[in-house]
Structure 1
Amino acid sequence: MDRKLWTRIFSKYGRTETIDFYNNFKEALDFEIISEPSEGLVMMKTREHAKNSLFYMGEVLITETKIRHGSTVGTGLVKGSDNELSEAMAFIDLSFKLDKFTAELNDILKSLKNIEANDIAEKTEKILQTKVSFEMMND
């Protein structure tokens, strides 16, 4: 599973599902917390398209948690101040790396992808309602 994809979907559309998954399965996997949820700042890199160069737009507040099972480390990094979500995302990362609970995670991801598709469709519909018809303006 593509980490960038599932991280975006879980953090944007599935906060409650992520935390519920963590609370339901954390007892089934023996892990230790390497670093408790802690807040920090990360520089946000952006591409300026006119010159095709990268620059740092500013800083973003993040919450990061690291957990370990054996030699495998799971990292949870979320935007904003959200200790619960960060810890749950670290557990999900660890689960994917260990190939544990993947059926349950894929079911959750499937339902969250449907929510994302509906959200995108609604936003697209709102944008299309404001679209100007230049042919009608000439009449």
Structure 2
Amino acid sequence: MHRKEWTRIFTKYGRSEALDFYNRFKGSLEFDIISEPEEGLVMVKTREHARNTLFYMGEVLVTESKIRHGSTVGLGLVKGTDPGLSEAMAFIDLSFKLDKFTAELNDILKSLKDIEAKSIAGRTEKILQTKVSFDMMND
């Protein structure tokens, strides 16, 4: 699974699962902390389609942490102020890069994908309830 996808799933639907995974397995893998969780600002870049140019839309507050095992570095970058989740995401990134605990992570991600599917289905149902039937309006 690609980093972008699992990061999105954990940050949107699995904060508690990420923290539980980190607390359960952090003693099983030796790592050094490169940088403690710290807040920063990231510029958000977007494309203007009329001129096909890039411009910076604004800034987003993020929390970033880095850990290392040997020469492999794990990065945790989350939106907002959340040092615990940032550390957990760095550990998960390091675990995926080292191919450690992947069976456990894949099980967690599978359950989170089910939660995501239910959430999307619920939102879709709400949207479809407000849909206007134009055929009925002509009667």
Q: TM-score, normalised by structure 2?
A: 0.97
2:132 equivalent to 1:137: no
Q: Which residue in 2 is equivalent to 1:97? A: 97
Gaps of 5+ in 2: none
Q: For 2:5 and 2:118, locate their aligned partners in 1 and report how far apart those are by CA, in whole Å.
A: 17
Q: CA deviation at 1:55?
A: 2.0
2:38 equivalent to 1:38: yes
Q: For 2:11 and 2:133, locate their aligned partners in 1 and report how far apart those are by CA, in whole Å.
A: 37
More displaced 10-residue stretch of structure 1: 2-11 or 42-51: 42-51
Q: Which residue in 1 is equivalent to 2:25? A: 25
Q: Which residue in 2 is equivalent to 1:81? A: 81
Q: CA deviation at 1:89?
A: 0.1
Q: For 2:20 and 2:116, locate their aligned partners in 1 and report how far apart those are by CA, in whole Å.
A: 19
Gaps of 5+ in 1: none
| Distance verdict in 2 for CA 1:66–1:114, change over 3 Å | same
Deviations 1:67-122 (Å, cap 9, x if unpaired)?
00000000000000000000000000000000000000000000000000001111
| Distance verdict in 2 for CA 1:102–1:122, change over 3 Å | same
Q: For 1:130 and 1:53, locate their aligned partners in 2 and report how far apart those are by CA, in whole Å.
A: 36
Report SS of the residue matched to 2:100: coil
Q: CA deviation at 1:135?
A: 1.0
Q: TM-score, normalised by structure 1?
A: 0.97
Q: CA deviation at 1:65?
A: 0.3
Report SS of the residue matched to 1:27: helix
Deviations 1:38-62 (Å, cap 9, x if unpaired)?
0000011223334443221111000
